Amino acid sequence: MTDLLAARSQMAMSLGFHIIFSCIGMVMPFLMAFANYKWLKTGQEDYHRLMKAWARGVAIFFAVGAVSGTVLSFELGLLWPGFMEHAGPIIGMPFSLEGAAFFLEAVALGLFLYGEKVLKPWVHFTSGVFVGISGVASGILVVAANGWMNSPSGFDWVNGQASNVDPIAAMLNEAWFTQALHMTLAAFVATGFGVAGVHAWQYLKDRSKLLHLRALKIALAFGAVAAFLQPFSGHLSADDVAHRQPVKLAAMESHFETEKGASFVIGGIPDEEKGEVNYAIKIPYLLSILAFTDPMAEVKGLDAFPRDEWPPVAIVHFAFQTMIAIGVLLMLIGVIFLFGQWKKLLLVQRTWFLKILAFATPLGFLAVEAGWVVTEVGRQPWIIYGIMKTADAVTPMPGIAYSFYVTTGIYLLLAILVFWLMGRQITVFNQEKEVAHV
């Protein structure tokens, strides 16, 4: 394994773990606060139990997310000194603000966890909402920094050096809004369906635990609404990528030849040598419509770019297809749920629907991982698009593979610890006495 591959693998593995904790940390506080709101409004003790259970989950994921986020901060400097040398003065602002948001999130979480008996009820509730707002703000700021890597702005690049730096323009780059919107909705979809799936599974095991039914309704409502909105966000992202990073769009769709009225490819296996996609379903004109809102618009293919600037086509294509397939499936489940609630069909008590929810538990997180593969691998070979190649930013220190192996082991232990803690929390939750019924 080369040092470059080891550094990229370590960064990918760290991001892969951290993004799960980040998604849950952004959304779970809103579920916690909503249960608190229902308790304050109805006075039903079951909602108080649910609030306390979800608050313990928020605390666990907050602690683990803080650890994995700190590791990532070190890795940026240790693995990519070439990147930090030039990018630090330009894109440091969102990272600094993210630190402030994280601090506020920690304070608000402390108030919520330990202030219930000393704060007024609505002040306590507001602190829970503020945990969620701070978490979302933190995520948006980090995504803004990543957006700058895809759409570098706010500086002049002359002879390999940055000058005339404008950190505000860098933070508010052209990619930040579409990426932040897509990522935030994805976090709500993944966490909403993930939490609903866990409670559906528990309710399938024991139908007397009716609080699980209430919990899955709340979580699934958040996830379903976000899943319904996500295609609109996806269209904005496709339009944005088509204009700023057309080679990434070409790799996502395995679109090898520049053409007008381009087809949208579903599935298939790309053959980079022959420049074709085998076994795919093609919908005429749809790619031109999605990218440029014009059925006859020209969509640049991979043939419009030097071969050494192509991202790994197969990886990006399969990741994009995975993200789309899961997104469509979760949106359909969400629409069925919302329709059932509107018509009072009691779908959430049907065994077949509960089994679908349980099956869907990890799918949202898989879609988030696939989406980040599209974003990061699709930008290769650049670490700052069009400015600096990834190979030029990696540390000259040898032996990065050993760091990769050690970090992987630590993350695996961390994952086992989180699963054990969450399993313990679910066991405690199930053993508590239920006082009300749905």
Overall average pLDDT of the 232-253 stretch: 92
Q: Which residues contact 160 (CB under 8 A, 6 or more apart)?
A: none
pTM above 0.75, yes or no: yes
Cis peptide bond N-terminal to 167, omega within 30: no
Give the model confidence (pLDDT) of 40-89 as tens digits: 999 999 899 999 999 999 999 888 888 888 888 888 888 999 999 888 88
Give the model confidence (pLDDT) of 112-155 as tens digits: 999 999 999 999 999 999 999 999 999 999 999 999 999 999 99
Stronger pLDDT, 69 or 365, i.e. the higher one: 365
What phi, psi does 163 have (nearest 5°)?
-145, 170
CA atoms within 13 A on the CB side of 423: 6
Q: Which residues contact 43 (CB under 8 A, 6 or more apart)?
A: none
Distances (CA, A) of 435 to 83, 199, 202: 57, 18, 18
Give the model confidence (pLDDT) of 196-239 as tens digits: 999 999 999 988 888 899 999 999 999 999 999 999 999 899 88
Stronger pLDDT, 101 or 73, i.e. the higher one: 101
Stronger pLDDT, 344 or 31, i.e. the higher one: 31
The yes-or-no verdict on residue 437 having pLDDT over 70 is no
pLDDT (0 to 100) of residue 363: 97
DSSP H or E run through 157:
strand 156-158
